[in-house]
Amino acid sequence: MIKNCCMISTWKMSLLGMKRAAPLLKRNVPVHEAILMAVKTVEDDPAISSVGYGGLPNLNGEVELDATYMNGDTLGFGGVMSVKNIKNPIEVAFDLSHYQRNCLLSDIGATRYAQSKGFAFQNMLSPESKKRYDQTDKMRDSEMLEAYKEHDTVCVIGMDHRRSMACGVSTSGLFLKMPGRVGDSPIIGSGLYADSEVGCAAATGVGEDIMKGCLSFSIVEKMRNGMDPQTACETALQQHLQRFLRCNHSCGSISVIAMDCYGNAGAATTLSAFPFVVTDQNFSTQLYVASNIGGKISIFQPDQGWLNSYRGD
């Protein structure tokens, strides 16, 4: 368990965004400003091929995006799914989180809403993404699609000086997914869950498998019942995998992060290496790695040698 945290996020790709968000929290801004900064930094980076501009296309060669935001104080949430050419889906998700109804919109409805509110639009298919799509076999079995080939969903959990907590998530989903496919990311309880009275959790990986266990809600409920975030992450993931074994289901890759209302954080994964980023209460931002070797989870800070050998994001 990592103590004295104010933010935690998934993947090494979130490091720059977290470093940009930390000074905002230091100035005592509301937590949503820091989360939006961290997520938008990833969405705007064309070198990141699983989120926002430059995201990997669906089977038709279109970049379809999903994003969600949840307010831990009010339990309000907003989300968009299967949207095209919205520059920063997380902004629209945050805006929708202020509504009690009609807060989760898809496809053309979400697009028209974003247009009516003046959000920015652009072609989200970068030249590099189009090249990768053109050079990839389209006849692969869609049932065998896997996450993490080029990293995956960005999830950011934060807590501000008022102890208000929230979580934001953004992704382009699985590469060569069927048009209209939606994973766990925009579904609260699965892709994310936030409750300022307890804590927040978020997930990244194969969404269909994450949704089968409502993993983020499961982790938060375990924290509500007294588990620390690290134990909650490991227990929820292990119970989920054991249930899959009992029904002979081969589970896709999954990683989870969590932070409680006291600033303790944890992570768990099915991978041998899952990098994640933590900003502490002194607003210093560091990279960590969760590793699963033989079912045992360990957390460590990578040295330069490890970073040089890492071939992920």
Q: Which residues are catalytic?
A: 153
* Nearest alpha carbon to residue 277 among 12, 68, 3, 95: 12
CB 211 within 8 A of CB 184: yes
Maximum C-alpha span of the chain: 51
CB 190 within 8 A of CB 208: no
Cα separations (Å) of 141 from 65, 96, 137, 144, 145? 22, 35, 10, 6, 7
DSSP secondary structure of 163-208: --EEEEEEE--STTPPTT---STTSBTTTEEEETTTEEEEEEE-HH
Encoded tokens for 177: 């997914």
Instruction: Return d(Cα 43, Cα 154) in angstroms, integer.
Output: 9
Instruction: Return d(Cα 140, Cα 126) in angstroms, integer.
Output: 23
CB 211 within 8 A of CB 190: yes
CB 190 within 8 A of CB 79: no
CB 202 within 8 A of CB 257: yes
